[in-house]
């Protein structure tokens, strides 16, 4: 049983608060992603679970043990870092084997466990090579195998794909997801990349400035962001956010007017996703503005215009053709819109 519980966990350095009153239960075998920008507290949270940082307040449970006072080696967790941390003088086989030697696992078990871990990340043909002879993707797979070979209770992964190029990130991401499914080990994964979070996680924890903003499945967070921070952080592109005024159920702002809301009058922030809107006949949409830019994506054309005090976009058909400066109308029915408090940013509808 590798359920993890964080109860009122905080980390402070003097007056600076790195993590503030973090409460969460991570289920046995769950793949949980901590997501947020640099400095949001996600890596600090992981390091407290690992024992590399001491929690200022609160309790950390792994299984049925409170682990606050346990050394990292006694918490039965395996970490995979952004920097691979391989030993340059050892070949791949010995790098993978090293944790078994340190933990004094009987030598008779070493070969079978190394070969099993190697096979899971497709490294068998590279076992004789030194790290300097490997590509970035291969080195990251060695780091994964070194974590797998320990057969830990918990995997902790701190931005393991950030040093890889785009193509390798996609393939290694798939490998990590499949590994977690096969190994059935509770996994906590830290990233600032919302695509990684959306594709890997059973649940996502979105953090900002040390505070949890929202916890939920990728679909929950994408479809119902709790506030404007989450809305602007999740999605590619992020949710479009426009400032305006609600009056009599009609939202108005620069170049935009959308009717059909049941919301109180006053200043408000309206959000919508580019793929939910459509290009309308001239003058028939809720936004009418000159095209600011066009991006051909292959499967679609992304059109950006200025409206509601922001640069907002709509995903059009791949065959859509126009020029920068041409007028375009965008259809944004009220049913696809999200409403947020103009001051706090909290979701109101």
DSSP string of 174-194?
HHHHHHHHHHT-EEEEEES-H
Quickly state the pLDDT bin for 1 (edges 50, 70, 90).
low
Q: Which residue has the tokens 């049983």?
A: 1
Predicted local confidence at residue 122, as pLDDT = 85
CB within 8 A of 230, min separation 6: which ones? Answer: 206, 213, 214, 221
pLDDT at 147: 87
pLDDT tens digits for 248-273? 999 999 999 999 999 999 999 999 99
pLDDT for the residue numbered 271: 97
Q: What is the pLDDT of residue 56?
A: 96
Helix, strand, coil percentages, rounded to 5, for the chain = 30, 35, 35
The average pLDDT across 215-240 equals 94
What is the predicted pLDDT for the residue at 183?
84
- Which residues in the chain are classed under CATH 2.40.50.140? 237-341
Query: CATH 3.40.50.300 region(s) of the chain?
Result: 4-232
Residue range 11-23: mean pLDDT, rounded: 96
- Whole-angstrom Cα distance, residue 307 to residue 242? 7
Average pLDDT over residues 20-29: 96
> What confidence tens digit (pLDDT) does each residue in 285-320 have?
999 999 999 999 999 999 999 999 999 999 999 999
Please return the burial class of 220, using the count of CB atoms within 10 Å of its CB with bins 0-12, 13-18 and 19+.
Answer: middle
Residue 342 pLDDT: 96
CA distance 68 to 218: 30
**How high is the pLDDT of residue 165?**
77
pLDDT interval class at 140 (50, 70, 90):
confident
The answer to whether 97 and 149 have CB atoms below 8 angstroms apart is yes
pLDDT at 224 > cutoff 80: yes
Rounded CA-CA distance 252/270 in Å is 10
- How much is the pLDDT for 120? 84
**CATH for the stretch 237-341:** 2.40.50.140
Strands (E), 228-324: 240-247, 250-253, 256-259, 266-272, 278-280, 287-296, 301-307, 310-316
pLDDT in tens, 79-111: 887 776 788 999 999 999 998 998 888 999 999
CATH superfamily label, 4-232? P-loop containing nucleotide triphosphate hydrolases (3.40.50.300)
| pLDDT of amino acid 212 | 97
According to DSSP, the residues that pair with 206 across neighbouring strands are 35, 214
Mean of the per-residue pLDDT values of the chain? 92
Q: What is the mean pLDDT of residues 214-233?
A: 96
């Amino acid at each position: 049983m590798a359920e993890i519980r964080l109860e009122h966990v905080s980390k402070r350095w003097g007056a600076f608060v790195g993590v503030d009153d973090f409460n969460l239960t991570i289920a046995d075998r769950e793949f949980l992603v901590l997501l947020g920008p640099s400095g949001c507290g996600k890596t600090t949270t992981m390091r407290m679970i690992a024992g590399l940082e001491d929690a200022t307040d609160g309790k950390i449970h792994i299984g049925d043990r409170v682990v606050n006072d346990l050394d990292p080696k006694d918490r039965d967790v395996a970490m995979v870092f952004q920097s691979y941390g391989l030993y340059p003088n050892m070949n791949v086989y010995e790098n993978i084997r090293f944790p078994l030697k340190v933990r004094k696992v009987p030598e008779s078990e070493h070969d079978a466990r190394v070969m099993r871990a190697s096979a899971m990340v497709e490294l068998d043909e590279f076992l004789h090579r030194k790290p300097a002879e490997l590509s970035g993707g291969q080195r990251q797979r060695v780091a994964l195998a070194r974590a797998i070979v320990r057969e830990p209770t918990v995997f902790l992964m701190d931005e393991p794909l950030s040093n890889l190029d785009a193509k390798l990130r996609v393939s290694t991401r798939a490998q990590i997801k499949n590994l977690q499914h096969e190994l059935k080990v509770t996994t906590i994964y830290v990233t600032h990349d919302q695509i990684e979070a959306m594709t890997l996680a059973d649940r996502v924890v979105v953090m900002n400035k040390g505070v949890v903003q929202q916890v939920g499945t990728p679909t929950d967070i994408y479809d119902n962001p709790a506030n404007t921070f989450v809305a602007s952080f999740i999605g590619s592109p992020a949710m479009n956010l426009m400032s305006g005024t609600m009056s009599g159920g009609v939202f108005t702002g620069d170049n935009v007017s959308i009717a059909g809301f049941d919301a109180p009058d006053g200043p408000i922030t309206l959000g919508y996703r580019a793929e939910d809107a459509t290009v309308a006949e001239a003058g028939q949409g809720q936004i009418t503005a000159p095209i600011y830019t066009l991006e051909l994506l292959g499967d679609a054309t992304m059109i950006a215009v200025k409206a509601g005090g922001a640069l907002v976009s709509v995903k059009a058909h791949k065959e859509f053709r126009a020029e920068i400066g041409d007028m375009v109308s965008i259809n944004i029915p009220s049913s696809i819109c999200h409403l947020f408090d103009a001051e706090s940013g909290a979701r109101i509808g």
